[in-house]
Structure formats: C-alpha cells, structure tokens
Amino acid sequence: MMIDGVTIVDTFAEAFPMTAARAIVTADTPEWAEVAGRTMTGYATSVIACDAEASIERSLDAAETPDGRPGVSILVFAFSRDALEKALTNRVGQCVMTCPTTACYNGLPLGEKTINIGGRLRYFGDGWQISKRLEGRRYWRIPVMDGEFTCEETFGTTKGVAGGNIILLGTEPGPTLRATEQAVRAMRNVPEIVLPFPGGIARSGSKVGSKYKALRASTNTAFAPTLRGLVPSELPDSVQCVYEIVIDGLTLESVERATVVGLLAGCQPGVVAITAGNYGGKLGPFHIKLHEVVTRADKLAGATVRGPG
C-alpha cells in the first residue's frame, strides 16, 4: 500500500492494557494551568523507567471546568490502580499543589474502581484542611501560602490502551522530523489520547530485553541507521532517520483513530515508509493493523484516503 508515494508497511502496532485516570487542572490563567500540567507530566514518557505515562490531553476553557477557570485535561496511565494512585498522588502533590493558583479535579465518571487523591493529599494541611461535599463528591481545601489548594478526593479510573505507535522512516533528519511533527499536530486533535514522549516524538525506540540483565529494554537495533550492516535491519538503504510516535488512549478506538490520522498526516516528502513496532503478538492483546485502519479511515477519523497503490 502506498499513500502519496509513501509505503505503508503491512504490519501492526502492538498495544497493551493499562489503568488510566484523567485529571482536570485549573488556575487563574491559562498560562499557569499549562505550567502545572507540563510540570505534572514530566518524566512520564514510558513505564519502562517511569512511574506512569502521562501528557496533556488538551486545553480547556472556563466553560469546561468544574470551577469556571481555564485549565488543562491530563491523562495518566499505569499498570495497576495502586500504581496509578501512588503516581497521581505524588504528581499532583509535588507539581500541582505547589503551582500558584491551581486546583485539581477528577475528569472521569466515578464507577466501582476509583483511586483516592485528595483524601491522601489532605494531610499536608496538618490538621487545618477542610472538606466539602457538593453533589455527592467530596473536595478537600488545603491551606497554602497564596490561599487554598482545592483537590477532589476520589478520581475515576478506566482500562486504557497504551503502546500504540507509528514509525516514520525518512531519507534525512530534517524532512523526517518535519513530517513527524505534522503527524503529531494532527494526532493531538483526536480526543481521549496522549503522546507521552517529548513533543510527542521518540527517537530512542526500544525493544524488549538487553544483553545486560539489569535492563528491561534496550535500543531498537533493527531501526538504528548506524547499525545497519552490523545487525539485522528493518531499514531500506535510503533511510537515514527514524522517528516513533507512541500513543496512549482511553479506548482502543481512540488509539486507532490517532494512528490513522497520524499516518495520513505523516505521508510527506522525505518519508520513505511508515511502519509500526510489535513483538510478534507476545507483548499485548491489541494489534492495530496499519492497512486495516487505513481502509477504515473514513469511519475512524473522517479522513479521505486516495486508496492503496
């Protein structure tokens, strides 16, 4: 299959389930909400080494937030509810509560499976914290040096999907990066997904395992241009640069939608092929087949595809 001269490899991205939460962070200004969101989602690219995978989902205007202030929506993913609760509590406590004028609220429906965030952070108030219940939800008001930090007690969780990906193969770094940036911009318009790596892009794609026993993962040698000829390679001779976009989402459909949107947007001059990373089906149960999502592009993303060539 080819789109605008770019080969779409007949392969699949292998994704896996994780537990997800959505935090709504608000502040007096959009700038401070953005600062809090970016700080909270730092060091959250991959659970290979981080306590969670997280990124800003989108900006929110005052009409979309619980307290009528500007904000950001943040998605956070971890392997279990316990791990998610610990990671989110630490990140809200250290990165949101410390940020001027902020508050933090739950952004998912409250079902049977919840985590306690505000209820854990309340102890920072040293006994001066106050709780208030509104419409069946409890909020904690913690005294801080510019007034009070408000945090909702209970956050809903859901089973999300992590590890979706596309990999762009290009002839030169500059054009390949520009094409990948364009794919990222398009994907960020898709609801219910985040791209956790810096700027949405990973240059250090990984494979499971390593020659060093202490490491869970190591460089993806099959996609490293400088190792071509030294190890088995997945790269055509003309490829000198490879960038990966990793996708986490609240549903499989949202990850599929982001996949096809990014794939179509990434078919730019300088890109030779677009492929995806998988481990033969051994890592995760969700197999996002590139050719299949392209054929369903209209349904998934409202995109028009000229068709396979």
Nearest to 190 by CA among 107, 42, 297, 80: 297
Average of per-residue pLDDT values in the chain:
95
pLDDT over threshold 90, residue 4: yes
| Residue 228: predicted pLDDT | 94
DSSP for the chain, please give it: -EETTEEE-S-EEEEEEEEEEEEEEE-SSHHHHHHHHHHHTTT-S-TTTSS-EEEEEEEE-GGGSTTSS-EEEEEEEESSHHHHHHHHHHHIIIIITTSTT-EEEE-S---S-EEESHHHHGGGGTT--EEEEETTEEEEEEEETTEEEEEESEEE-EEEEEEEEEEEEESSHHHHHHHHHHHHHHHTTSTTEE--SGGG-BSS-EEE--SSTT-SEEE-GGG-GGGBTTB-----TT--EEEEEEEEESSHHHHHHHHHHHHHHT--TTEEEEE----TTSS-SEEEEHHHHHHTHHHHHS-------
| Residue 222: predicted pLDDT | 95
| Residue 279: predicted pLDDT | 84
State the Cα–Cα distance between residues 4 and 161, nearest whole angstrom.
Answer: 30
The half-sphere exposure of 244 on its side-chain side, counting CA atoms within 13 A, is 22
For residue 307, tell me if it sits in a domain: no
Among the candidates 158, 177, 210, a domain finishes at 158
pLDDT over threshold 90, residue 303: no
| Residue 301: predicted pLDDT | 64
Q: How many CB atoms lie within 10 A of CB 13?
A: 26
| Residue 306: predicted pLDDT | 40
143 and 226 together in one domain: no
Is the CB of residue 121 less than 8 Å from the CB of residue 151?
yes
Nearest to 119 by CA among 104, 105, 140, 148: 140
**Structure-token match 């009528």, residue found:** 68
> Domain range spanning residue 81?
17-158
47 and 81 together in one domain: yes
Tens digits of per-residue pLDDT, 219-263?
A: 999 999 999 999 999 999 999 999 999 999 999 999 999 999 999
pLDDT over threshold 80, residue 302: no
6 and 41 together in one domain: no
153 and 170 together in one domain: no
pLDDT over threshold 90, residue 297: no
| Residue 307: predicted pLDDT | 39
180 and 244 together in one domain: yes
Q: Could you tell me the pLDDT band of residue 280, with boundaries at 50, 70 and 90?
A: confident
For residue 273, tell me if it sits in a domain: yes
State the Cα–Cα distance between residues 232 and 298, nearest whole angstrom.
Answer: 36
| Residue 305: predicted pLDDT | 44
pTM for this entry: 0.94
| Residue 282: predicted pLDDT | 80
169 and 150 together in one domain: no
pLDDT over threshold 80, residue 121: yes
CA 155, distance to chain mean position in Å, is 19
Say how many domains are in the chain: 2
pLDDT over threshold 70, residue 308: no
294 and 166 together in one domain: yes
Q: Phi, psi (5° rounding) for residue 115?
A: -130, 155
What share of the chain has pLDDT > 90, as a percent? 92
Among the candidates 123, 158, 193, a domain finishes at 158
Tens digits of per-residue pLDDT, 186-197?
A: 999 999 999 999
34 and 114 together in one domain: yes
Report how far apart, in Å, the C-alpha atoms of 26 and of each of 32, 106, 143, 309 are: 8, 11, 17, 48
23 and 146 together in one domain: yes
For residue 308, tell me if it sits in a domain: no
For residue 54, tell me if it sits in a domain: yes
Q: Could you tell me the pLDDT band of residue 304, with boundaries at 50, 70 and 90?
A: very low
Q: Domain with 46 in it: what CATH number?
A: 3.30.70.520
* DSSP-assigned beta bridge partners for residue 160: 18
Of 32 and 208, the one with more pLDDT: 32
Tens digits of per-residue pLDDT, 83-107?
A: 999 999 999 999 999 999 999 999 9
